[in-house]
Chain A
Amino acid sequence: MVDVHLWSGLRSLTGGQQVVAVEAKTTGDLLRELVRAHPQLQAPIDAGVSIAIDGRVIATGLTEPIPEGSEVFLMQRLRGG
């Protein structure tokens, strides 16, 4: 299981939970499982999210592996200039 840390603004969509545990081996799995656990997370995921794995920010990739025991944060999709 991976503990996914959400940003606090998402707590209203997860019944107050800021950490959601899901079974996921890749970033794509992770997003799918988050929505399965909390369907209301579909909206922020559609709006664009990035995933930080042990501090490395995965901007868009759905195939990045999530090593066992890694620290995982969901972040709003980054935009640059």
Chain B
Amino acid sequence: MALDDRKSDFTFVGTRPNRPDGLDKVTGRAKFGADISAPGMLHGAILRSPHAHARIVKIDTSKAEAHKDVKAVVTRADFSDKVEFKPGLSGEFWNVLENVMASDKALYDGHAVAAVAATSALAARDALKLIEVEYEVLPHVTDVDKAMAPDAPIIREGAADYSVPEGMHPNVVRYHESGHGDVDAGFAEADLVIEDSFATEATHQGYIEPHACMGSLGSDGKGELWCTTQGHWIAQKTCAALLGIETSQLRVTASEIGGGFGGKTTVFIEPVALALSRKANRPVKIVMSRSEVFRATGPTASASMDIKIGMKKDGTITAAQGIFRLQGGAFPGAPGDMTAMCAFAPYNLTNVRQVGYDVMSNRPKQAAYRAPGAPMGAFAVESVLDELCNQLGLDPVDVRLKNAAHEGTKASYGPTYERIGLVETLEAAKAHPHYSAPLKPGQGRGISCGFWFNHGGETSVSLALSEDGSAQVMVGTPDIGGSRASMALMAAEVLGIPYENIRVTVADTATLGYNDVSHGSRVTYASGLATIKAARHAVEQLCARAAASWGIPADAVKWENGCAVPSGPNAGDFDPRPLADITAHMGATGGPISGHFEATPEGAGVSFGTHIVDAEVDPETGKTSITRYTVIQDAGKAIHPTYVEGQYQGGAAQGIGWALNEEYIYGDDGRLQNSIFLDYRIPVASDLPMIDTVIVEVPNPGHPFGVRGVGETGIVPPLAAIANAVSNAAGVRMKQLPMSPPRILAALKDNG
């Protein structure tokens, strides 16, 4: 939408007040997914396949059903299969149903096959042992390259879409190819061409709060669902489709959320709890164990990638090509297309070609994880760039500046960029004391840029003024990064009342219009835009009330510093009327004053970042320490700078885990070997240095205050920046993540 009313001087925006949910969270008063109970509530538990790939010959639930503590048992027969499998949204409903409860085949270790509801959590878990499942074990595959090989077992025939070229294995379900120019001609112009292959393992989002919900569904088709989610409207829509009920009859409330990072943008246990409840006629609560979270909820895709880049001696990139193969578990959806489209996006390239594959394997259905697909591509591309800089003796920031995309550049994925802030992040990196600080022996420095698209999405916001002049804002995007504080700041800016006088609530699905999921770095952008517009809608009415009281036209009144004032000397001479003065009488002067905004904003604005990392490698043990880390990223406009910095630091912390330690490890039997945090190592505080941040602000033309989303771009550069730092410290190019101590020792040994 055209936005010609951009604002650049602010009173509240850009300040750092305490978060409104802070006290609740530090005192334990905040209610997360598992903090719910209801009279008569039952506890659900889910039986999961121990096999990576197996035909389900028979399920006998009779012994479980006969147990005195068991009130319901469900299998796939208790869900709606009315939704036909076809491309698009309904196709994804089918995939989600198949993932929530297996039909004829178990497709991965941990795939749900049946569930029980019993009078206690212990009784429910015990009752699972009474369910007898007869499996016919099938050959399996968990590696992306092996899943594409001619002899790979077929996960599901006919899952490939229109895009897959003939002759590919049926496990390849989507193909993407894009680019421009002539890469062969470009490579011929280069003074140095480097071609190499890279691999990353699947990692989990690692949210601290496991999935948890309570569902209640009556035989009248009316239901209630409480769950930890990034989007309760999508939970509503999906559960209704899977259970064959009307969407509006299911009211979904989002709990406080203990992390999501993309992994809570779909449903897993929620339809199961509702199906059990419908059968038992009582509320059913399900809480996943950590092992269930690892085995059966979405990790990110793993990737295998081939990169070729040509460069002139002066650092000019002459051509770039990338082939990105991503496996996303036993369902379509691995973001190979996103990897391809983002990989070279930071650079102004005359000749570029990128190919992405979406490949199925016997692993859990991948879910989004911050900038899905982009970090792995950046790892491969930025590693080759670093190697080119090393071999040509060029400064890595200078080379990136020389090739950096800017306003007017034709993006690697096609269109011409609007105003973007990559150059500003690189200039800030070059000027930062970190970049010129001396390194100690055994240390290396790495640089990487990163890109992400950002998203707008369907958004509804309501704002209601109270008689005492305070305001309540109802948003529909679960707060995963401090967004209630940001919304309150933006509403305060428009209304001209203090931040503390505004309460922001994440409304349930019955009390607000539709909202897309909190994903795509969209919340501060889209819910923020909607909050600003809703507040302006309320201000229009405040001005109209003041105008009526003064007996002048509404357009002769303007809003200034929280007061209605005459718009100029010709409008008359009246004392300013503060907001609370108008709302005190609103009931008698036309009724309650509220503001609304519903739209799908389409101007999210792309985002770039540059990271600087210092790493030290212990040649005896192979252990890597990150000794210094600086994140520089364009936020457009930081509404609450502390939470923007938090997003930057969180991206770096998760990137450190992904780069150094985190990985899904499968045995030869196709079973996940490390499904608890003791064996799946995420970084803890002692693994992390102070992560310094620099907020660059190149305003987004698509937002009234200039906001660009910041939630995802911060995870794009770390894998590459850390790999470059480690490679430079160890003196050997690291091409596979994670760079765990055994892998580093092996690389050092191979290097002599």
Question: Could you list which residues of chain A lie within 8 angstroms of chain B, going by C-beta atoms?
Answer: 5, 7-9, 12-13, 40, 43-44, 46-48, 52, 54-61, 64, 71, 73, 75-76, 78-81
Encode contact with A along B216-252: 1 for CB under 8 Å, 0 otherwise.
0000000000000000000000000000000000000
How many whole Å from A30's CB to the nearest CB in chain B?
14
Tell me the residues in window 344-377 of chain B with beta carbons closer than 8 Å to chain A beta carbons: 353, 367-372
How many whole Å from A47's CB to the nearest CB in chain B?
5
- Of B161, B335, B521, B602, which is within 8 A of A56 by CB? B602
Query: Is the Cβ of B368 less than 8 Å from the Cβ of A46?
Result: no
Q: Which 6 A-B residue pairings sit nearest by Cβ, starting from the closest?
A: A80-B520, A81-B262, A81-B368, A43-B162, A52-B415, A9-B177
Max count, chain B CB within 10 A of own CB: residue among A54, A56, A59, A75: A59
B657 at the interface (CB under 8 A from A): no
Task: Give chain B residues whose Cβ lies under 8 Å from the Cβ of A75.
Answer: 341, 413-415
Task: Give chain B residues whose Cβ lies under 8 Å from the Cβ of A57.
Answer: 415, 453, 602, 604, 606
Query: Is the Cβ of A59 less than 8 Å from the Cβ of B455?
Result: yes
Residues of B in contact (CB 8 Å), total: 49
Tell me the residues in window 248-294 of chain B with beta carbons closer than 8 Å to chain A beta carbons: 261-263, 265
Q: How far is the CA of A58 from the CA of B341 in the complex (A)?
A: 16
Chain B contact residues: over half helix, strand or loop, or mixed? loop
Can you show 28 pairs from A to B with CB atoms below 8 A apart?
A5-B414, A7-B178, A7-B413, A8-B179, A9-B163, A40-B162, A43-B87, A43-B161, A44-B162, A47-B161, A52-B415, A55-B416, A55-B418, A56-B603, A57-B415, A57-B453, A57-B606, A59-B602, A59-B604, A73-B415, A75-B413, A75-B414, A76-B337, A79-B338, A79-B368, A80-B372, A81-B370, A81-B519
Encode contact with A along B142-162: 1 for CB under 8 Å, 0 otherwise.
000000000000000000011
B456 at the interface (CB under 8 A from A): yes
B175 at the interface (CB under 8 A from A): yes
B209 at the interface (CB under 8 A from A): no
Encode contact with A along B700-729: 1 for CB under 8 Å, 0 otherwise.
001000000000100000000000000000
- Contacts A12-B165, A60-B457, A80-B521 known; list 17 others, CB within 8 Å: A5-B415, A9-B178, A43-B162, A43-B163, A44-B163, A54-B415, A54-B416, A54-B418, A57-B606, A73-B414, A76-B337, A78-B520, A79-B372, A80-B262, A80-B372, A80-B519, A81-B519
Query: Is the Cβ of A7 less than 8 Å from the Cβ of B414?
Result: yes
Max count, chain A CB within 10 A of own CB: residue among B162, B337, B416, B604: B162
Closest residue of chain B to A53 (Cβ to Cβ) is B415
How many whole Å from A68's CB to the nearest CB in chain B?
16
Query: Is the Cβ of B602 less than 8 Å from the Cβ of A58?
Result: yes
Task: Give chain B residues whose Cβ lies under 8 Å from the Cβ of A48.
Answer: 88
Query: Is the Cβ of A59 less than 8 Å from the Cβ of B414?
Result: no
Query: Is the Cβ of A71 less than 8 Å from the Cβ of B520?
Result: no
Q: How far is the CA of A43 from the CA of B161 in the complex (A)?
A: 8
- Of B177, B262, B337, B370, which is within 8 A of A8 by CB? B177
- Of B411, B416, B522, which is within 8 A of A80 by CB? B522
Task: Give chain A residues whose Cβ lies under 8 Å from the Cβ of B414.
Answer: 5, 7, 52, 73, 75
Encode contact with A along B60-90: 1 for CB under 8 Å, 0 otherwise.
0000000000000000000000000001100
Q: How far is the CA of A79 from the CA of B261 in the complex (A)?
A: 13
Closest residue of chain A to B86 (Cβ to Cβ) is A46
Query: Is the Cβ of B372 less than 8 Å from the Cβ of A81?
Result: yes
Encode contact with A along B447-467: 1 for CB under 8 Å, 0 otherwise.
000000111110000000000
B417 at the interface (CB under 8 A from A): yes
Given contacts A59-B455, A80-B519, A80-B521, contact A64 B602 (CB under 8 A): yes
Given contacts A48-B88, A57-B602, A60-B600, contact A9 B457 (CB under 8 A): no
How many whole Å from A25's CB to the nearest CB in chain B?
16
Q: How far is the CA of A58 from the CA of B176 in the complex (A)?
A: 20
Given contacts A7-B178, A81-B369, contact A55 B341 (CB under 8 A): no
How many whole Å from B402's CB to the nearest CB in chain A?
22
Q: How far is the CA of A53 from the CA of B482 in the complex (A)?
A: 32
Q: How far is the CA of A9 from the CA of B519 in the complex (A)?
A: 27
Task: Give chain A residues whose Cβ lies under 8 Å from the Cβ of B415.
Answer: 5, 52, 54-55, 57, 71, 73, 75
Task: Give chain A residues whose Cβ lies under 8 Å from the Cβ of B179.
Answer: 8
Encode contact with A along B508-522: 1 for CB under 8 Å, 0 otherwise.
000000000001111
Q: How far is the CA of A7 from the CA of B411 in the complex (A)?
A: 12
Task: Give chain A residues whose Cβ lies under 8 Å from the Cβ of B161.
Answer: 43, 47
Max count, chain B CB within 10 A of own CB: residue among A40, A44, A75: A75
Task: Give chain B residues whose Cβ lies under 8 Å from the Cβ of A13.
Answer: 162
Q: How far is the CA of A73 from the CA of B418 in the complex (A)?
A: 14
Q: How far is the CA of A38 from the CA of B372 in the complex (A)?
A: 31
How many whole Å from A20's CB to the nearest CB in chain B?
14
Query: Is the Cβ of A71 less than 8 Å from the Cβ of B416?
Result: yes
Closest residue of chain A to B419 (Cβ to Cβ) is A55
Q: How far is the CA of A73 from the CA of B179 in the complex (A)?
A: 12
Task: Give chain A residues whose Cβ lies under 8 Å from the Cβ of B600.
Answer: 59-61
Task: Give chain B residues whose Cβ lies under 8 Å from the Cβ of A58.
Answer: 602
- Of A43, A56, A61, which is within 8 A of B702 by CB? A56
Query: Is the Cβ of B371 less than 8 Å from the Cβ of A81?
Result: yes
Task: Give chain A residues whose Cβ lies under 8 Å from the Cβ of B162.
Answer: 13, 40, 43-44, 47
Query: Is the Cβ of A81 less than 8 Å from the Cβ of B603?
Result: no
Closest residue of chain A to B452 (Cβ to Cβ) is A80
Q: How far is the CA of A8 from the CA of B337 in the complex (A)?
A: 12
Query: Is the Cβ of B341 less than 8 Å from the Cβ of A76?
Result: yes
Query: Is the Cβ of A9 less than 8 Å from the Cβ of B522?
Result: no
Task: Give chain B residues whose Cβ lies under 8 Å from the Cβ of A40.
Answer: 162
- Of A55, A60, A73, A76, which is within 8 A of B176 by CB? A76
Query: Is the Cβ of A59 less than 8 Å from the Cβ of B456?
Result: yes
How many whole Å from B366's CB to the nearest CB in chain A?
11
